[in-house]
Amino acid sequence: MIEPYIINFPKIGNSVQGYISVAENENLPFKVNRIYWTYFTPESVERGGHSHYELEQILVAVAGKIIVNTEVISVVRHQFILDNPNIGLYIPKMTWRTMKYSHNAVQMCIASIVYDEKDYIRDYKTFIKNGNKRSPIQS
Ligand code: T46
């Protein structure tokens, strides 16, 4: 079982000029097929509440703070605080997750596959029951 873990991206620069962080092949655990970002999420809202059969992701709080709760195969639970633009959270397939955001948070998601609603498990009981079943998007 693979569990979520933090990735430290290179931080190039200094406090006078500012910094650049880089995500490229050698520091990513999968081939990238999609990047999207989430912003202006009200602090009262919890996003996520789903798992994915195949999708692997890395979440980065490029601004603000994100609290991510994860659960792998309904047993192993972790909480991660993302509040630094040079760290990312790797989320493996079959991980239930919820996220809360500070008012200024911008979440970048680096994703292993293109969007497909059939890859989602949006019902928690189905996640627990079907956690180990094969993806409906595989042939
Ligand atoms: C995740 C967390 C971290 C699209 O049409 N295309 C897309 O590429 C995406 C990502 C979403 N959508 C649509 C599908 C839904 O109608 O946008 C709506 C909200 O998507 P979702 O329920 O996935 O939103 P979040 O913020 O709960 O979750 C997102 C990721 O989609 C998800 O994989 O793990 O961020």
Residue 4's CB: how many other CB atoms inside 10 A?
20
Would you say the CB of residue 100 lies under 6 angstroms from ligand 1?
no
Per-residue pLDDT for 92 more than 60?
yes
Active site residue 78: no
The per-residue pLDDT for 133 is 58
Q: What is the pLDDT of residues 29-73, one digit of tens each?
A: 999 999 999 999 999 999 999 999 999 999 999 999 999 999 997
Bridge-partner residues for 7, per DSSP? 88
Question: How many CA within 13 A on the CB side of residue 42?
Answer: 2
Mean pLDDT score of the chain: 93
Q: What is the pLDDT of residues 113-126, one digit of tens each?
A: 999 999 999 999 99
Locate the ligand 1 atom nearest the alpha carbon of residue 55 and give its number: 33
Question: Alpha-carbon dihedral of residues 92, 109, 79, 91, nearest 10 degrees?
Answer: 0
Residues 6+ apart with CB under 8 A from 30: 56, 112
> In this prediction, what percent of the chain has a pLDDT beyond 90?
85
H/E stretch holding 125 reads helix 124-130
Would you say the CB of residue 61 lies under 6 angstroms from ligand 1?
no
The per-residue pLDDT for 67 is 98
Can you tell me the distance from the alpha carbon of 127 to that of 123, in angstroms, rounded to the nearest whole number? 6
Ligand 1: distance of its center to the CA of 120 in Å?
9
Our separate counts of H helices and E strands in the chain read: 1, 12
The per-residue pLDDT for 139 is 41
Ligand 1: distance of its center to the CA of 98 in Å?
12
Per-residue pLDDT for 130 more than 90?
no
Residue of minimum CA distance from atom 32 in ligand 1:
48
**pTM of the shown model:** 0.93
Locate the ligand 1 atom nearest the alpha carbon of residue 91 and give its number: 34
